[in-house]
């Protein structure tokens, strides 16, 4: 039976004008249909009753996308805008446009929110150029980097910084450009990020007065996930290698890290191009970003910078020379960690000791090294003549790409990682617990740089084996392997193997137990017990690390 609708002007009008020969049933049906149409119309209007303030400049599709200069292209940017700034480290950063924003000055352009992987280097490049001028009030980044001026601004309350795992940041931006409002991720479950306890704001005395937002959680197939919301911007600024006059873009090597996804997530995208070519010069197979996502094009005039120029010795690695005791310990760890890298494996190596493991892979064993800034098939550090500012690793160091290697954007990279397509991930640690909990990014009371991609790298431990390679004790002699972590977690129950300069532990993540399986030469089980802060069981027949 059709329910009787509530009175309204529309109903009264319908009642007055009802044809006399229409049946009661037909009349009720007509009223019901029109009421639903009215309800639908009202609901649709309510969605737009409070329009989002538009900070993006007006786009005129009828005009050329070519602008004479970066200054002209940013002249109508508005204060209070959200700026998506592409690049990774100093690679692929739109410094021509950032310098133009800087020239606008704080009085003309201020109160900006800036989104990027990191904030650049003071007086060199990146967002640091406009955070120093005070034009940026809020940053959303994954890693603070080596920027002392920005650290001071943050710790004295002059800027708000939201730290976000690198893969989550990339996916939030990708979803923003794809019209997806939110998504669930395994990254950062059971960490301070889930609880909303990572500081975002300090007062002038260095006391935390603002924190993140607690995440909504949901269980899928017996596993907990965090809900993250999409991230969009008013303006995206990026640097491309080649751009045609229609806005089609071709990026070079690792410079595509955040470029394509940021262009898609902004209302207005401005590209600075190293080469501007006529329409037709770029073939369809060469285009990384279609012109539909690009609104303005300017010539790139800023020089490229190399953040960390790391070279290899063309004559050899130098192994076998006299080295310090500390270096010998690190070499022992790296040499043993290399045994985890089997032929044909796809592997991600963290900064420091984990990266060194690649040097000890036996000849004839082929492994594919993945770097989360968008490289697969990463090679050794370059010689002086091979240095290329567009080819860097996750530590912002210069590297090479081996035959068969590939490059891709950050969302694709972390899809590989979270999706379990990487076989092994090797990371460093501040602490590891008996249950495989990992803490490696933050010490309370000290300046923390951010989590970068670490939380994503340990986000799927059932598919990607997580190996920790670290010295057995900290600099102060305190144990790094503990019963329960006292430091903020990077991931819970994620580590399967622990390799130190003294021994190797296998972790039973379900039972929360450690098994001692190997010892270094000259190290006894009692030596390990003395320097380990967790209970463990030693196998009856222990292997040798060497």
Instruction: Give yes or no: residues 330 and 278 share one domain.
Output: no
Q: pLDDT-derived band of residue 315, with 50, 70 and 90 as boundaries?
A: low
Least confident of 73-77, 199-203, 314-318: 314-318
- DSSP string covering 295-321: -EEEE--SPP--SB-----TT---TTS
Strands 233-244 vs 82-85: parallel, antiparallel or unpaired: parallel
* pLDDT value for 55: 82
Instruction: Give yes or no: residues 235 and 346 share one domain.
Output: no
List the CATH number of the domain containing 430. 3.40.1080.10
Count the domains in the chain.
Answer: 2
Question: What pLDDT, in 10s, does the model give residues 432-467?
Answer: 999 999 999 998 777 778 999 999 999 999 999 999
Question: What pLDDT, in 10s, does the model give residues 354-403?
Answer: 999 999 999 999 999 999 999 999 999 999 999 999 999 999 999 999 99
Instruction: Give yes or no: residues 290 and 352 share one domain.
Output: no
Instruction: Give yes or no: residues 239 and 375 share one domain.
Output: no
Catalytic residue among 194, 272, 274, 372: 372
* pLDDT value for 352: 87
Instruction: Give yes or no: residues 252 and 295 share one domain.
Output: yes
What percent of the chain has a predicted confidence (pLDDT) above 70?
88
C-alpha distances out from residue 117 to 13, 198, 389, Å: 59, 17, 17
Instruction: Give yes or no: residues 329 and 266 share one domain.
Output: no
Instruction: Give yes or no: residues 246 and 377 share one domain.
Output: no
Instruction: Give yes or no: residues 256 and 384 share one domain.
Output: no
What percent of the chain has a predicted confidence (pLDDT) above 90?
83
Which of 256, 281, 299 is the C-terminal boundary of a domain? Answer: 299
For residue 120, being part of any structural domain is answered with yes
Which of 259, 282, 299 is the C-terminal boundary of a domain? Answer: 299
For residue 46, being part of any structural domain is answered with no
Instruction: Give yes or no: residues 270 and 366 share one domain.
Output: no
What is the rounded distance in angstroms from the CA atom of residue 263 to the CA atom of residue 268? Answer: 8
Which of 261, 281, 299 is the C-terminal boundary of a domain? Answer: 299
* pLDDT value for 18: 37
Paired tokens of 363: 């000849």
Q: What is the mean pLDDT of the chain?
A: 89
Residue 530 a catalytic site member:
no
What is the domain extent for residue 459?
A: 325-544
For residue 318, being part of any structural domain is answered with no
Closest residue by Cα to residue 81 from 136, 161, 157, 140: 136
Instruction: Give yes or no: residues 385 and 514 share one domain.
Output: yes
Q: pLDDT-derived band of residue 50, with 50, 70 and 90 as boundaries?
A: very low
In terms of pLDDT, which residue wins out, 546 or 85? 85
pLDDT at 236 over 80: yes
Closest residue by Cα to residue 290 from 390, 177, 392, 183: 177
For residue 329, being part of any structural domain is answered with yes
In terms of pLDDT, which residue wins out, 217 or 38? 217
Number of other residues whose CB lies within 10 A of the CB of residue 30: 14
End-to-end CA distance of the chain: 82
For residue 270, being part of any structural domain is answered with yes
For residue 16, being part of any structural domain is answered with no
Residue-wise burial string across 253-272, b where 16 or more C-beta atoms lie within 10 A, e elsewhere: bbbbbbbbbbbbbbbbbbbb
For residue 489, being part of any structural domain is answered with yes
For residue 521, being part of any structural domain is answered with yes
What is the rounded distance in angstroms from the CA atom of residue 295 to the CA atom of residue 149? Answer: 33
Instruction: Give yes or no: residues 274 and 378 share one domain.
Output: no
Question: What pLDDT, in 10s, does the model give residues 321-364?
Answer: 678 999 999 999 999 999 999 999 999 999 889 999 999 999 99
Instruction: Give yes or no: residues 283 and 415 share one domain.
Output: no
């Amino acid at each position: 039976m059709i329910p009787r609708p509530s009175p309204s002007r529309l109903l009264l009008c319908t009642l007055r004008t009802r044809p006399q020969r229409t049946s009661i049933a037909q009349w009720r049906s007509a009223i019901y249909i029109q009421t639903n149409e009215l309800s639908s119309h009202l609901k649709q209007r309510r969605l737009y009753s409070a329009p989002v303030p538009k900070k993006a400049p007006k786009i005129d599709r009828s005009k050329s996308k070519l602008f004479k200069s970066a200054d002209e292209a940013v002249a109508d940017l508005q204060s209070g805008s959200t700026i998506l700034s592409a690049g990774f480290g100093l690679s692929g950063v739109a410094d021509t446009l950032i310098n133009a924003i800087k020239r606008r000055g704080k009085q003309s352009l201020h109160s900006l929110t800036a989104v990027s992987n990191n904030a650049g280097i003071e007086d060199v490049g990146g967002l640091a150029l406009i955070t120093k001028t005070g034009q940026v009030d809020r940053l959303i980044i994954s890693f603070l980097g080596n920027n002392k001026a920005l650290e001071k601004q943050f710790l004295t309350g002059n800027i708000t910084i939201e730290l976000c795992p690198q893969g989550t940041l990339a996916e939030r931006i990708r979803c923003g450009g794809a019209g997806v409002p939110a998504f669930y991720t395994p990254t950062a479950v059971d960490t301070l990020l889930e609880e909303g306890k990572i500081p975002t704001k300090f007062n002038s005395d260095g006391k935390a007065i603002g924190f993140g937002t607690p995440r909504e959680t949901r269980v899928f197939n017996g596993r907990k996930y965090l809900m993250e919301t999409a991230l969009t911007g008013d303006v995206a600024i990026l640097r491309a290698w080649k751009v045609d006059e229609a806005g089609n873009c071709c990026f070079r090597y690792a410079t595509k890290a955040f470029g394509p996804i940021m262009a898609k997530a902004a209302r207005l995208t401005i590209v600075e191009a190293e080469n501007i070519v006529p329409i037709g010069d770029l073939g369809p197979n060469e285009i990384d970003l279609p012109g539909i996502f690009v609104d303005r094009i300017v010539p790139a005039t800023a020089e490229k910078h190399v953040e960390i120029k790391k070279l290899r010795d063309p004559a050899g690695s130098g192994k076998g020379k006299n080295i310090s005791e500390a270096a010998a310990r690190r070499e022992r760890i790296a040499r043993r960690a290399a045994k985890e890298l089997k032929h044909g494996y796809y592997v991600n190596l963290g900064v420091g000791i984990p990266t060194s493991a690649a040097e000890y892979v036996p000849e004839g064993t082929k492994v594919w090294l993945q770097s989360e800034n968008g490289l697969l098939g990463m090679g050794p550090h370059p010689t002086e003549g091979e240095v290329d500012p567009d080819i860097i690793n996750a530590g912002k160091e210069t590297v090479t790409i081996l035959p068969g290697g590939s490059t891709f954007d950050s969302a694709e990279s972390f899809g590989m990682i979270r999706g379990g397509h990487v076989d092994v991930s090797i990371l460093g640690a501040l602490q590891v617990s008996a249950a495989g909990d990992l803490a490696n990014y933050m010490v309370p009371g000290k300046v923390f740089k951010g989590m970068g991609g670490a939380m994503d790298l340990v986000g799927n431990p059932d598919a990607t084996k997580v190996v920790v390679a670290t010295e057995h004790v900290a600099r102060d002699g305190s144990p790094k392997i503990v019963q329960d972590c006292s430091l903020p977690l990077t991931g819970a129950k994620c580590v399967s193997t622990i390799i130190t300069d003294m021994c190797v532990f296998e972790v039973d993540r379900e039972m929360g137990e450690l098994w001692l399986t190997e010892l270094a030469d000259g190290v006894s089980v009692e030596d390990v017990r003395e320097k380990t802060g967790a209970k463990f069981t030693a196998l009856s027949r222990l292997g040798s690390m060497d």
